[in-house]
Amino acid sequence: MSTKYVYKFSEGNRDMRELLGGKGANLAEMTNAGMPVPQGFTVTTEACTRYYTDGKKIAPEIEAEIMTNLADLEALMGKKFGDPENPLLVSVRSGARASMPGMMDTILNLGLNDVAVEGLARRTNNPRFAYDSYRRFIQMFSDVVMELSKKRFEEIIDDVKAKKGVKLDVELDADDMKQLVVLFKEFYKKEKGVDFPQDPKVQLMEAVKAVFRSWDNPRANVYRRMNEIPYDWGTAVNVQSMVFGNSGDNSGTGVAFTRNPATGEKALFGEYLINAQGEDVVAGVRTPSPISKLHEEMPHVYEEFVDIANKLEQHYKDMQDMEFTIEDGKLYMLQTRNGKRTAAAALKVAVDLVDEGMIDEKEAVLRVEPKQLDSLLHPTFDAEALKKAEVIGKGLAASPGAASGKVVFTAEEAKEWHQRGEKVILVRLETSPEDIEGMQVSQGILTVRGGMTSHAAVVARGMGTCCVSGCGDIVVDYENKQFTLAGKTYKEGDWISIDGSTGNIYGESVATVPADPSSGPFGRFMAWADKYRQLQVYTNADTPRDAKQAVDFGAEGIGLVRTEHMFFEGERIKAIREMIVAETTEEREKALEKLLPYQQGDFEGIYEAMEGRPVVIRYLDPPLHEFLPTKEEDIKEIAGELKITVDRLKEVIASLHEFNPMMGHRGCRLAVSYPEIARMQTTAVINAAVNVQKKHPDWKMVPEIMIPLVGEVKELKFVKDIVVATADAIIANSGIAMKYEVGTMIEIPRAALLADEIAKEAEFFSFGTNDLTQLTFGFSRDDAGKFLSYYYDQKIYENDPFAHLDQNGVGKLVAMAAKMGKETRPTIHMGICGEHGGDPTSVEFCHKVGLTYVSCSPFRVPIARLAAAQAAIKNPR
């Protein structure tokens, strides 16, 4: 049987999201539920991938299938493409498996031509509307299909308005619109060398291709990379008969959520515009009315809509985000989907749905995107500082959080300033999908136009970035890079602050305080996550302060203390430099002797902060040259401090030079060369643990010592022997009993390949997936940036493997090693301590391969807890 590439709405259902995209599947589902949906059909995602494998061509059989379905639609609607009496008009919209709002292209009013426009005028008895629709279609088609910028058409409109002496579009009459159509078509022909296509079927096929093409546009690629959407999913195309929200004052269009997407409050939440097309709401050009006002303006429509909204929420058992259009008083549903929401809203909705008996705890845990929790952990304004700060304006509280930064006016500037290390607030009339990268690097986003569902608001919420939208009092002067608000002028570079939870704007920098995630339903929700997860969540922390912070966020231990981070301050760096320039073991030991008390004190502090929880301490890891100066003047100064000649210091620096430091004399290789380093570190760890154990007899101290960069069991054994000899002697003298463990990082491919042997000596494994990724891919993290952009462009790699664990390659090594390690030593405990430890998809992988814990930075601990819970629910062990 040949593949079916086109489905009528009446043929699909919600489970066909992979094939029909989210929009298509839900349109089908609503159709089947008897809801008022303008009918149409969906060209599948498979047609899209076929389009690309066929060299960006639509195969004849797919075109034939589209035409058959078009004919059926004509029959169903009783309208015909290009019909001079009753023309069928359609919208053509993208709809991928995952929602990618604003990322791809849409064309409305398709089917209009010189003949059909007359039919539309006649049927609606509204020539101005008909010609307005036609000129809009020409504009949109030219932009999306033919890459003729919308702006050029706006200039023609401005010309016509100027000649007529009017300022607003609404002041143009039917004849003006007719004239615009003529001018647009002339312009089109001039630019493209051919007439604007009059055959609606040609228009349709070109539009379908344009939607397929838009899957691969730059902003879609950026969005996918940010949201981990695979390139090979492709997008579906929905062809739907048009209904017109702009056909008069008894028409309108709007979007609404069944609950408040910012707070989660259970109440219909949305906006609409009378006499407008859908894009007018989303684009934020006009500021719409709240949905509650519809109750007054069109009570019957409102009631029908409330009824549908409730049904949809009950049906999907989640908060819905719906688009609707009212045509001549009749309601049509254009889309429903699970609504995007803030983290706070996500938590509240999930907990409320459980309390309402709609879903169970496990389902609730699955409902919150782990990465979203990040925004809950971000600072808010300091209450005292806020009292003194003057509110200079107010907009919509579009995305919660508080931010201070310097004003910039374009996404490009935001990126540039950010690269210089500046914090910026991006101030725009309105944002558009092109701005996405600039938005990402901004502390906050402030817009003049647009509501809660405007592009700026939707995207900022998704990013967890604070946003105030629709502050119409602001007058932006892009040219002079300044804006005025409340009589004051703010120039590029001036500090402002915005509060995305209140909509307040401050003309100065305002101090912030850390987030308090324990307020609201956070605690209850995270307790469910902790109940279902099987992975433990540790943190990477080098100081008691970080350790404390992580415990507050729910960390159950420390998976990585980087001991070298303690070596860089004051007297310590001096001592480590003395060690490095030492010419004999004795001199080296003398220098290490000086480091011992610092190191021991640091460990005691961390042990105290962790109150008996597990702490894994990694031994000295970086190459020694990192501790030496490189600049001439520093070399002179430091040679003086070390009481050696400049030449001698330069000699040492030269002798430590490495061609590929990442693969150089570091990690346990240092301990093999200079066992006295491992001896000192062991003394510090065990002394600290003994002291803390004596002070807190109820804690059960079991220091865990981690040997980095092991590639061979004999290497581990060599260092372990030093550790054991040193530790056993100290413990024997301490007068108390204490156990300790010696384990290793698995971060060298060879260690993973020989994990069975290494597990003979290692009591635990910690997968160092940063280095393991570098070595498995054979590219240096510091250098890969230069060529990875080409790889993203060519879709060779879709994700940064340092952000998301490469499950195919690196993951294969991790899985192999975990399996072999367990076979050799069934009691082995295993974790991950690379940056992947806080990445949800990587956490899921760690769960699947049976690790014991993940370790991540303190602020990612809640994310990891939730990701671990979701992994456990989705993949029962």
Our CB check for its own copies shows the closer of 258 and 776 to be 776
- Contact between 204 and 92 under an 8 Å Cβ cutoff? The reply is yes
Pair type for strands 396-399 and 80-81: unpaired
Would you call 118 helix, strand, or coil by DSSP?
helix
Q: Applying CB under 8 A, does 797 fall inside the site for its own copies?
A: yes
Query: What letter would DSSP give residue 389?
Result: S
In whole angstroms, how far apart are CA 753 and each of 615, 666, 719, 777, 856? 27, 20, 20, 15, 25
The rounded distance, in Å, linking the Cα atoms of 339 and 851 is 34
Give the total residue count for the chain: 877
Helices (H), 403-468: 411-419, 436-441, 455-463
List the one residue from 532, 779, 802, 859 that touches its own copies (CB under 8 A): 779
Region from 56-64, 137-145, 457-465, 773-781 binding its own copies, contact rule CB under 8 A: 773-781
List the one residue from 776, 842, 855, 870 that touches its own copies (CB under 8 A): 776
Q: Applying CB under 8 A, does 792 fall inside the site for its own copies?
A: no
List the one residue from 595, 689, 748, 864 that touches its own copies (CB under 8 A): 748
CB of residue 209 to its own copies, shortest distance in Å: 22
Which among 673, 686, 681, 667 is positioned nearest to 730, based on CA atoms? Answer: 686
Which residues in the 289-308 window bind its own copies by CB under 8 A?
none
The rounded distance, in Å, linking the Cα atoms of 805 and 73 is 46
CB of residue 816 to its own copies, shortest distance in Å: 9
Q: Applying CB under 8 A, does 753 fall inside the site for its own copies?
A: yes
List the one residue from 52, 316, 627, 791 that touches its own copies (CB under 8 A): 791
Residues known to be catalytic: 455, 833
Q: Applying CB under 8 A, does 796 fall inside the site for its own copies?
A: yes
Q: Applying CB under 8 A, does 795 fall inside the site for its own copies?
A: yes
Q: Applying CB under 8 A, does 775 fall inside the site for its own copies?
A: yes
Q: Applying CB under 8 A, does 434 fall inside the site for its own copies?
A: no
**At how many degrees (to 10) do helices 174-192 and 150-164 cross?**
140
Would you call 528 helix, strand, or coil by DSSP?
helix
Our CB check for its own copies shows the closer of 598 and 797 to be 797
CB of residue 568 to its own copies, shortest distance in Å: 19
- Which two structure tokens, joined as six digits, stand for 566? 């303690």
CB of residue 293 to its own copies, shortest distance in Å: 52
Which residues in the 551-590 window bind its own copies by CB under 8 A?
none
Strand order in the sheet with 402-408: 391-394, 504-506, 495-499, 402-408, 424-428, 444-447, 466-469, 396-399
The rounded distance, in Å, linking the Cα atoms of 159 and 138 is 17
DSSP result, 323-337:
EEEEETTEEEEEEEE
CB of residue 781 to its own copies, shortest distance in Å: 9
Pattern of binders to its own copies over 640-679, x per CB under 8 A?
------------------xxxxxxxx---x--xx------
Query: What letter would DSSP give residue 802?
Result: T
Region from 153-161, 283-291, 480-488, 782-790 binding its own copies, contact rule CB under 8 A: 782-790
Q: Applying CB under 8 A, does 782 fall inside the site for its own copies?
A: yes
- Which two structure tokens, joined as six digits, stand for 800? 């940064």
Q: Applying CB under 8 A, does 737 fall inside the site for its own copies?
A: no
Q: Applying CB under 8 A, does 810 fall inside the site for its own copies?
A: yes
Which among 839, 863, 800 is positioned nearest to 225, based on CA atoms? Answer: 800
CB of residue 749 to its own copies, shortest distance in Å: 5
- Contact between 772 and 746 under an 8 Å Cβ cutoff? The reply is yes
760 phi, psi to nearest 5 deg: -65, -30
**At how many degrees (to 10) do helices 127-144 and 200-214 cross?**
50
CB of residue 230 to its own copies, shortest distance in Å: 12
Q: Applying CB under 8 A, does 794 fall inside the site for its own copies?
A: yes
Our CB check for its own copies shows the closer of 308 and 814 to be 814
CB of residue 50 to its own copies, shortest distance in Å: 18
Query: What letter would DSSP give residue 267?
Result: S
Q: Applying CB under 8 A, does 285 fall inside the site for its own copies?
A: no
Pair type for strands 475-477 and 444-447: unpaired
Distance of CA 365 to the CA centre of its chain: 19
Q: Applying CB under 8 A, does 819 fall inside the site for its own copies?
A: no
The rounded distance, in Å, linking the Cα atoms of 870 and 368 is 9
Our CB check for its own copies shows the closer of 106 and 221 to be 221
List the one residue from 771, 835, 839, 844 that touches its own copies (CB under 8 A): 771
In whole angstroms, how far apart are CA 115 and each of 26, 579, 693, 818, 869? 34, 88, 89, 70, 60
Our CB check for its own copies shows the closer of 52 and 797 to be 797
List the one residue from 550, 685, 813, 872 that touches its own copies (CB under 8 A): 813
Our CB check for its own copies shows the closer of 115 and 788 to be 788
List the one residue from 777, 803, 841, 848 that touches its own copies (CB under 8 A): 777
- Contact between 241 and 79 under an 8 Å Cβ cutoff? The reply is yes
Query: What letter would DSSP give residue 50?
Result: H
Q: Applying CB under 8 A, does 728 fall inside the site for its own copies?
A: no
CB of residue 771 to its own copies, shortest distance in Å: 7
CB of residue 746 to its own copies, shortest distance in Å: 11
- Contact between 131 and 121 under an 8 Å Cβ cutoff? The reply is yes
277 phi, psi to nearest 5 deg: -95, 160
CA angle 865, 871, 876 (to 5 degrees): 125
Our CB check for its own copies shows the closer of 361 and 771 to be 771
Bridge partners of 558, per DSSP, are 539, 615
Our CB check for its own copies shows the closer of 115 and 662 to be 662
Q: How many residues bind its own copies (CB under 8 A)?
A: 49
Q: Applying CB under 8 A, does 310 fall inside the site for its own copies?
A: no
Q: Applying CB under 8 A, does 443 fall inside the site for its own copies?
A: no
CB of residue 655 to its own copies, shortest distance in Å: 8
Our CB check for its own copies shows the closer of 383 and 796 to be 796
Our CB check for its own copies shows the closer of 63 and 771 to be 771
- What are the residues whose beta carbons fall under 8 Å from the beta carbon of 267, sequence distance 6 or more? 259, 260
Q: By CB neighbour count within 10 A (0-12 exposed, 13-18 middle, 19+ buried), where does 368 fall?
A: buried
CB of residue 214 to its own copies, shortest distance in Å: 22
**At how many degrees (to 10) do helices 150-164 and 127-144 cross?**
150
Our CB check for its own copies shows the closer of 305 and 674 to be 674
Q: Applying CB under 8 A, does 749 fall inside the site for its own copies?
A: yes
CB of residue 56 to its own copies, shortest distance in Å: 14
Which residues in the 683-722 window bind its own copies by CB under 8 A?
709, 711-712, 714-715, 718
Our CB check for its own copies shows the closer of 374 and 747 to be 747
Our CB check for its own copies shows the closer of 269 and 779 to be 779
- What are the residues whose beta carbons fall under 8 Å from the beta carbon of 507, sequence distance 6 or more? 390, 392, 485, 486, 488, 490, 494, 495, 496
Footprint of its own copies (CB under 8 A): 658-665, 669, 672-673, 709, 711-712, 714-715, 718, 747-750, 753-754, 757, 771, 774-780, 782-784, 786-787, 790-791, 794-797, 806, 808-810, 812-813
